[in-house]
Structure formats: structure tokens, C-alpha cells
Amino acid sequence: MVHIRVMTAGDLALGMHLKAQAGWNQLEADWRRFIEMQPDGCFVAELDGAPVGTTVTCIFDSVAWIAMVLVDASVRSQGIGKALMKHALEFLDAQRVPTIRLDATALGQPLYEKLGFVAEYTLHRYDGVLALPPEEPPDTRVRGTNADDVIPLYQIVELDRAVTGTNRDKLLRRLCRPGAGVRWIEAGADLRGYMTIRDGANAVQLGPCIADAAAGPLLLAEAWERYLGSRVFIDVPVQNVPAVQLAEAMGLKVQRPLVRMTRGPRVKEEVARLWASSGPELG
């Protein structure tokens, strides 16, 4: 019998085991952040008393995300993933969240469609070692490279909200803490773009990167130079052609597609200014 309960810090080892089994990139710090952001909305599935699956949710005002739907390989095809998703949806419906989103793998998409999710657009996860340097040196306008740079958090949150249609303040406050990998470009008093960078189990994750047409390439080029010789992941909307071209110029290859899906009213998202997503965890 499948039982769903709230996930706690005591389940971190389970989360790490399942993500490693799936070959995903999260660290323990990522799992801790999920629980910290939505302590009542992260769940564990137990089969006959043994923990075998996870999912996490995060509510951003009128928009919520579902992620980390993982089931132990030894007990797949027994309805555990579906039970986790239904529980997560019941939790979010009880909170009266009108729009629920997720990034689906090919394996998960059929289940999500049955639960009422509709595909919006495709992202490609680009993967590879940054072997050759960029043709142009990093632009000096990229900030966040010096210890005395003050992170313009309020402006980052507002720019992100304008582009994603979602108030991701509680995520960005954590990704943009002092000492974290965050870069930005300003023009006078205006923020033209930002990007966060974080370590992963398999690769450095580039993104989210939200920027205009001029700032996006400069932010990604700075990361290219800084992480030369490192393996990186970056999730790029296929509709953002300049971002796709830049990922290919960096020598990266498509690892897998991800489909952004929504249940409920669609969010007005400016994909042209979305150079890289946060990954499947939170869009």
C-alpha cells in the first residue's frame, strides 16, 4: 500500500539516493532549499512502510511548481509516481493556486497529460565541457565578480517577475545570497539582465539567466570564460534562437529535451528574454 507523507530533513539521504539513481544533478543543498521554501509541500511516498519516492512543490503566489518526481527503480510501474502527483495536486488545489507548472521529461509527460497538464514549449538541456575560450574577452560591465559588488536583489526579483510572470522572490533570495554565483549587468539605474550559477553533482548549472538581447550574450560569455574546462548544464528554450546558437558556439550538445507544461491559466512568459531556465526544479 502506498502512503504519502511530508518530507523532512531526515529524508535527505532518500532524495540523494533517488536523484543519483536517475543521474540528476542536485546536491543536498538543493533538497534543503526545496524543504526550506515549502516545508508543508514536499512529500515522500512509502510502499509497505519503506520510503521509495519523492516530489516537491513550491508556491509563488498564484503560480506553483512541481518537481523532483522520483521513484526507486525497483518499484516503478506500480502507480507510485501517479500517487505522488495526485497528492501534490491536491495539496496545491487546497491552497487555491490557480496555475501549476512543471518541466517534463519524455518519461513523465504522458502521466502529466493525463492529469490535465498542457505542453507550452520545449527546452533543450545542453551539456558539455567548455573546452575552447570565447572569441571575445568577458565584458567589464558584468558585475558580481568582485567581493564588494552589492547584489541588486530587488531589481533582480522585479526583472524576473516581468519576464516569467511569476514572483520568485523566495527562490531568488536564496540563489542570490552573498557569496553565491550571481552575475548582472546594469545600465545606469536599470538592470539589463542577471544570471545565477550553482554547483551540481555532475556539472555546473548555468541559470536562470534573464536578460535583454544585449545583456544575455555578455552574461553567458562571462560564465563561458570563468568555467572554461568545466562540465556545464544549461537549459535553453528552443524558441530563443540566439541562446540556442550561443550554447552551440560554446561547444555544448543537447542531452535531452524538457517540455514546459501548465495546468490552469497560462503565465505570460517572455521567452525571448529567457536565456536559461533554473532547471526542471523551479522553471
In the chain, % of residues over pLDDT 70: 100
Handedness of CA 169, 170, 172, 178 (dihedral sign): positive
What pLDDT sits at residue 2? 92
Cell of 114: 493525463
Query: pLDDT tens digits, residue range 41-95?
Result: 999 999 999 999 999 999 999 999 999 999 999 999 899 999 999 999 999 999 9
Domains and CATH numbers, the chain: 2-97 (3.40.630.30), 125-276 (3.40.630.90)
Q: In which band, very low, low, confident or very high, does the pLDDT at 265 lie, cut at 50, 70 and 90?
A: very high
pLDDT at 148 over 90: no
Q: How far from each other are the two terminal CA atoms of the chain, in whole angstroms?
A: 32
Give the model's confidence band at 188: pLDDT under 50 very low, under 70 low, under 90 confident, else very high. Answer: confident
d(CA 155, CA 99): 24
Interval 194-250: pLDDT, tens = 999 999 999 999 999 999 999 999 999 999 999 999 999 999 999 999 999 999 999
- Averaged pLDDT for residues 117-125: 98
How does residue 130 score in pLDDT terms, banded at 50, 70 and 90?
very high
> Which amino acid, one-letter code, is at 227?
Y
pLDDT of 102 > 80? The answer is yes
The mean predicted confidence, pLDDT, of the chain is 95
Is the pLDDT reported for residue 147 higher than 80? no
13: number of Cβ within 10 Å: 11
What's the mean pLDDT in 10-33?
Answer: 97
Is beta strand 99-104 parallel, antiparallel or unpaired with respect to 50-60?
A: unpaired
Share of the chain above pLDDT 90, in %: 88
pLDDT higher at 122 or 187: 122
**pLDDT reported for residue 149:** 87
- Which element (helix H / strand E) includes 70? strand 63-71
**Mean pLDDT (whole number) for 276-280:** 94
Strands 253-263 and 99-104: antiparallel
Strand partners for 103: 260
**Model-level pTM?**
0.95
Q: What is the model's pLDDT at position 179?
A: 77
Q: Average pLDDT in the 19-40 region?
A: 97
Reduced to 3 states (helix: H, G, I; strand: E, B; else coil), residue 136 is coil
